[in-house]
Amino acid sequence: MLGPLTSATRRSDSNEEQLESLGATCAANATGRLVRSAIWMPYGDIVIQAECTQFRVNKDILATHSNVFRDLFEIPQPEWHPDSDEESEIVEGCSVVLLTDAGRDWENFLAVLYGDPFSPKNALDFDLLAALLRLGKKYEITRAKEDALWRIRHEFPRDFRAFNELDADLTKIKYRKGIYADLLHLAYECEIYSSLPLLAFCCLRSDSLETILSGIPRDDGSRVTLPNELRYILAIAHERMILFQHKTLAWLRDGSVVPHSQCASSARCEQQRITMAKIVDDDHCSQGRFNLGYMIDQWDHRWTGMMCPLCEISATAVYERGREKGWELLPSFLGLTNWQELDDVI
């Protein structure tokens, strides 16, 4: 069995923590019996164990994708003999590497590695995305990490123009209930700070603050429970976003923008503006929560054609300025620095 690694195995100081984390902890803590994964390669030459699950895989495949495993496998290992007394350290003639990761992460990651790896055409479910990101980061598996990062950054960009070009639905990550909260937690955990503002906004737009604080239900009946620090950040951001949106939509409640000074049907356009304001109020009531969609989302298609062209152009311009300002201030609502200085640490 490959046990805790010594300093001689470390390629550089930056790898010290990753290499040390390969030490044996799983076997000592496991209370249930070991389970053999479906990922059991008949010609595999190494067994990795995460929690109580073992996987028989190929060293060369792991080493090709991971600098950390390549360093590990370069360490000379004692030759195993069938009559060895160390039966618990050998499985079918293969040395065992004990890992401190979740078995589910390795199950998902290896399924990709031995299947159709890193295909940008396929939308990934959250569990697989999280496995690629966590294990890719920890074991320096560049392709896995970069694929996961690309998907998150694509769906939740830092650039306003990229945000405007997004599809209405997720395209690179599979949608399900609670997905935004799970992604927010993952991005926070992995220090993908550039995606945090938009993810936080999506959480607050999709679910009430009460639901977020008590736990957001997933499709399978489980709940997303965010850490206290994230719940605190969202609670503060929620209040700030409400105040901002209320201010930027003030033109719906007064005559500062509509009707336009040169409007030929001012009475009609004024009445339509009041109707538009009622649409916003009805959204709040029908959803049972404050609808933040008017803060940075694009012009409501239900408003199109309600006013004369002159008033609509004027109203659209004011609305767009509000959106741009909302995007600019979005990180500050969470207590973060501005977009330009919001760099990922991963």
Question: What's the Rg (C-alpha) of the chain?
Answer: 26
Q: CB of 194 within 8 A of CB of 158?
A: yes
pLDDT value for 178: 98
pLDDT value for 265: 96
| Residue of 24 and 54 predicted with greater confidence | 54
Split at pLDDT 50, 70, 90, the class of 128 is: very high
Residue that is written with structure tokens 């080493």 in the block: 63
Return the amino acid letter for 224.
Answer: V
First to last CA, the chain: 31
pLDDT value for 334: 98
pLDDT value for 111: 86
> What is the H or E stretch that residue 16 is in?
helix 16-20
| Residue of 112 and 290 predicted with greater confidence | 290
Assigned token pair, 302: 């239900």
Domains of the chain: 7-100 (3.30.710), 130-226 (no CATH), 245-333 (no CATH)
Residue 19 has pLDDT above 60, yes or no: no
Residue 195 has pLDDT above 50, yes or no: yes
Q: Cα separation of 73 and 82, whole Å?
A: 22
- DSSP code per residue over 224-275: E---HHHHHHHHHHHHHHHHHHHHHTGGGTSSSSSS-TT-S-HHHHHHHHHH
Split at pLDDT 50, 70, 90, the class of 90 is: confident
Residues of the chain above pLDDT 90, percent:
72
- What residues contact 247, with CB distance under 8 A and at least 6 apart? none
Mean pLDDT of the chain: 87
- DSSP code per residue over 272-337: HHHHHHHHHHHHHHHHTS--GGGTTS---GGGTTSS-HHHHHHHHHHHHHHHHHHHHHHHHHTT--
Q: Is the pTM here over 0.85, yes or no? A: no
Assigned token pair, 159: 């650039």
Residues of the chain above pLDDT 70, percent:
85
Residue 3 has pLDDT above 60, yes or no: no
Worst-scoring range by mean pLDDT, 112-116, 213-217, 226-230? Answer: 112-116
Please compute the mean of the pLDDT values over residues 291-313 and round it to a whole number: 93
